Amino acid sequence: MTGTPHAAQPEGSEAPARRWMILVVLCASLLLVAVDATVLHVAIPAVSEDLRPGQVQLLWIVDSYPLVCASLLILFGTLGDRVGRRRILLLGYALFGIASALAAAAESAQLLIAARALLGVGGAMIMPATLSILRQVFPDRRERALAIGVWSAVAGIGAAGGPLIGGFLLEHFWWGSVFLINIPLMLVSLPVGRWLLPESTGDGQGPWDAVGALLAASGLFGLVLGVKQAGSGEVSVLGTLVPLVAGAVLLVVFVRRQRGREHPLVDLALFARPAFGTSVGCIVLAMLALVGLELIAAQYLQLVLGLSPLETGLRLLPLTFAAMAAGLAGSRLLARFGPRAMVGTGFTLTAVAVLVLTGMGDHDNPPLLIGGFVLLGLGLQTTLFSSYESMLSEAPKEEAGGAAAIGETSYQLGGGIGIALLGSVMNAAYGPGLRHVPGVPETAAADARHSLGEAYDVARELGGPAGAALRTAAKGAFVHGLHVTLVVSAGLLLVGAVAALRLPRSMDPAPAGPGAPDPGAPGGSTRPAPGSGGHGTPGGSPRTTAPRPRSGRDSGRAAPGGERGAADGRNARDSALRR
Phi-psi region of 262 (alpha: psi -120 to 50; beta: other; left: phi over 0): alpha
Residues 6+ apart with CB under 8 A from 578: none
**Claim to verify: residue 436 and residue 487 sit in the same structural domain:** yes
Are 195 and 233 in the same domain? Answer: no
Q: How far apart are CA 429 and CA 237, in angstroms?
A: 24
525 in the Ramachandran plot: left (φ > 0), alpha (ψ -120 to 50) or beta?
beta
Sign of torsion over alpha carbons 172, 112, 295, 348? negative
Q: How many domains, the chain?
A: 3
- For a pLDDT cut of 90, what percent of the chain falls above it? 3
Q: What is the dihedral of CA 358, 364, 365, 367, to 10 degrees?
A: 120
Residue 442 belongs to a domain: yes
Residue 144: which residues within 8 A CB-CB, separation 6 or more? 134, 135, 138, 389, 392, 393
In-domain check, residue 130: yes
Boundary residue ending a domain (155, 180, 200): 200
Gap between the Cα atoms of 24 and 558, Å rounded: 42
Looking at the fold, whether 433 and 387 belong to one and the same domain comes out as yes
Residues 187 and 225 in one domain: no
Can you list the residues of the chain whose pLDDT is less than 50? 1-13, 509-579
Residue type, 417: I
Residues 6+ apart with CB under 8 A from 338: 503, 504, 505, 506, 507
Same domain, 241 and 99: no
Burial 450-467 (b: 16+ CB within 10 A, else e): bbbeebbebbeebeeebb
Amino acid 575: pLDDT: 43
Rg (CA), the chain: 25
Q: Which residues contact residue 114 at a Cβ distance below 8 angstroms, ignoring those fewer than 6 apart?
A: 102
* Same domain for 287 and 238: no
- CA 480 to centroid of chain Cα atoms: 29
pLDDT value of residue 14: 57
The tens digit of pLDDT for each residue in 513-560 reads 344 444 444 333 333 333 333 333 333 333 333 344 444 434 443 343
Judge if 256 and 293 occupy the same domain: no
**Residue 49: inside a domain:** yes
Identify the CATH number of the domain in which residue 169 sits.
1.20.1250.20
pLDDT value of residue 512: 38
Residue 403 in any domain: the answer is yes
- Residue 262: is it exposed, middle or buried by C-beta count within 10 angstroms (0-12/13-18/19+)? exposed
Show Cβ contacts of residue 280 under 8 Å, excluding neighbours closer than 6 positions: 271, 387, 391, 406, 407, 410
In a domain, 559, yes or no: no
Are 249 and 185 in the same domain?
no
Contact 565, 543 (CB under 8 A): yes
Residue that terminates a domain, selected from 505, 535, 551? 505
> Is 136 domain-assigned?
yes
Nearest to 489 by CA among 432, 431, 433, 421: 421
Orientation angle between helical segments 16-38 and 182-196, nearest 10 degrees: 150
AA identity, residue 64: S
User: Per the domain annotation, does 578 fall within a domain?
Assistant: no
Question: Do 371 and 419 belong to one domain?
Answer: yes
SS3 content of the chain, % helix, strand, coil (to 5): 75, 0, 25
**194 & 300 share domain:** no
pLDDT at 352: 92
Is residue 526 assigned to a domain?
no
Query: Do residues 276 and 409 both lie within one domain?
Result: yes
42 and 170 in contact (C-beta within 8 Å)?
A: yes
Domain ends where: 466, 481, 505? 505
From CA 302, how far away is CA 167, in angstroms rounded? 13
Residue 544 confidence (pLDDT): 36
**Which domain, by its residues, includes 259?**
209-263
Judge if 172 and 235 occupy the same domain.
no
